[in-house]
Structures are given as C-alpha cells and as structure tokens.
Amino acid sequence: MEFYKYQGTGNDFVMIDNRSGEWNHLEISDIAKLCDRRFGIGADGLIKINIAEGYDFEVDYYNSDGSKSFCGNGARCSVAFAFFLDIFESNCNFIAIDGPHEAEIHNGIIKLKMSDVEMISMDGEDSVLDTGSPHYVKYVEDLIRYDVFAEGKSIRNSENYKEKGINVNFVEKNGQDGIFVRTYERGVEDETYSCGTGVTAAALTFMQKNNLISVPVKTLGGNLAVHAEKNGSSFRNIWLEGPAKQVFKGKIDLI
C-alpha cells in the first residue's frame, strides 16, 4: 500500500488515495495496525479519499481504533491531500460521515466549513455539543499542568457517556479574546496534540459567553481559528481555519 502522512497542528493521519477502490476491503484490524505507533506507521487516524458522485471527493475517516467519526483536522488534511492530488484548484465540496462540507486552500492554510450547531446543552457547569462529533467542554485553570488524560478518561467513561463515548475538551482563556484547548479524544483514547471538532466546540462556547464571532485557538500542536455567526441559540456559517502539511510518504506491506 502506498500512503502519505499528514499532520494538522500535530493531529496526524495516514492518508490513502482510494479513488480506484483498491482499499475498500480494509478491516478494522488493518486500520488499527497501520495507526499503531510501534508496529505500524503511527497516527491518530486513517483517511481514505474516495470518489463520491456530486462531490469533488469523499473523506472516509477512521479513528486509530478503527471506529468511524468526523474529524475536523483530518478533514483539513484531506483537503490538503486532495489539493496535492490535483482533484481541485482552490475551492472544493466534499462529503463526510456528518454530511457535505465546503473548503478552500491558500498558501497551505485550509478553511473548512463545519456543520451547523443547533444548540449547546449543559451538564452542570460544563457544555455539551456536537460539531460533527460529540464534545464535552470544561473550563479549567492552569491548563498546561492539568491532568488531561486522567480527567478526560474519567468523563469519557462516566455513566452518561461511556456507551457512545464523547471527546473531552479542557479550556482556558488565552489573552483578551482567545483560548487554549487540550483534548482527550474517544477512539484514540488519549490526549492528542489538537482536535479540530474539539477546538470548534470550545470556541463556540467561548463565543456564546463573550459575544464574539471569531476566536483564535492555541493547542499543543499549533494555532487555529474559528469563525461563526450566532443566530439565537444556534451557530451557522462555522469555519475552522489552520495549516495542514504533508510529512512523508511511503509503502507498507499489509501482513
């Protein structure tokens, strides 16, 4: 199998050009092995770029354990990969597990239109919302020293969320109108350097609290930005913006 490795603010992915359908047969065990950091390539997830009627391409995303979901940074890396494959010039429309998306790329910066968010629910003092994947958002202090793995794992496996799982985002204000976000991701079952849908979820809660339309976001893997329009309790025209880069390519035997 020929593959490419991409990263978007430290969130890394195995990318496969599957427009021929050659890798439709990949099993969950194959995906988990390819994503394994000791016995495979190593990645937070695997993405197949497929042909999709009516769209420029399909983003077929799998977490490192083989489960399916939508991934914001994975989608941005997919746009960069599709651009590298000459599938489109600067603007594209693609389909993913959560529905259709628009995106554009300029000088290595990808702007991705996210799904609308109808409402932000509350779980005590914390927020719960779906930005293509379900997210729990908790504001904390001294985030750089916070035990994201232990606290995130505890919330993700709590009674309300253990069956379907939830991504857990810890947020701290950063500067006047920005935030710092660290995320425990379901499917990876660990903290990742960045999470696109998580950054979006955290930014929307910050927008709601502070009446903003744009929020710069710091993650362990780099900087992103989220822009949105608020309409009552819902958000529309949500865009996630940031870099995505090809790291290397290679070939691997599926044995």
Domain with residue 202: its CATH number is 3.10.310.10
Q: How many domains does the chain have?
A: 2
Together in a domain, 109 and 170: no
- Residues 161, 106, single domain; the answer is no
Own/partner pairs for 144-148, CB < 8 Å, 24+ apart? 144/180, 146/170, 146/182, 148/182, 148/183, 148/184, 148/191
Both 44 and 143 in one domain: the answer is: no
**For the chain, where are the alpha helices, taking DSSP H only?**
28-35, 72-84, 148-156, 196-210
Q: Is 88 helix (H, G, I), strand (E, B) or coil?
A: coil
Q: What is the pLDDT of residues 103-114, one digit of tens each?
A: 999 999 999 999
Do 71 and 127 lie in one domain? The reply is no
Residue 122 confidence (pLDDT) above 80: yes
State how far the Cα of 165 lies from the Cα of 218, in Å rounded to an integer.
25
149 and 103 inside one domain: no
Q: So what's the pLDDT on residue 143?
A: 98
Per-residue pLDDT band at 232 (split at 50, 70, 90) = confident
Q: For 215, which DSSP code?
A: E
Is residue 135 located within the same domain as residue 217? yes
Contacts of 152 (CB under 8 A, 6+ apart): 168, 170, 183, 184, 191
The rounded distance, in Å, linking the Cα atoms of 189 and 169 is 13
Confidence at 71, pLDDT banded by 50, 70, 90: very high
Q: Which pLDDT score, from 0 to 100, does residue 254 have? A: 86
pTM for the predicted model, two decimal places: 0.94
Report the C-alpha gap between 230 and 59 in whole angstroms: 27
* Beta bridge pairs of residue 217: 179, 224
Per residue in 195-219, pLDDT (tens digit) is 999 999 999 999 999 999 999 999 9
pLDDT in tens, 151-186: 999 999 999 999 999 999 999 999 989 999 999 999
pLDDT of residue 184: 98
Look at residue 150 in the predicted model and tell me its pLDDT.
98
- Same domain, yes or no, for 143 and 163? yes
Are 11 and 95 contained in the same domain? Answer: yes
For residues 127 and 230, membership in a common domain is answered with yes
Same domain, residue pair 38 and 138: no
Tell whether the model's pLDDT for residue 119 goes beyond 90. yes
Q: Which of 35, 77, 92, 195 is catalytic?
A: 195
- Expressed as residue numbers, the domain containing 60 is 2-114+244-251
Choice among 35, 71, 77, 92 that is catalytic: 71
71 belongs to the catalytic site: yes
Does residue 232 or residue 4 have the better pLDDT? 4
The confidence band for 77, taking pLDDT boundaries of 50, 70 and 90, is: very high
Residues 50 and 150 in one domain: no
Return mean pLDDT, the chain: 96
Write out the two tokens for 222.
């780099």
**Taking residues 125-143, what's their average pLDDT?**
97
Residues 79 and 35 in one domain: yes
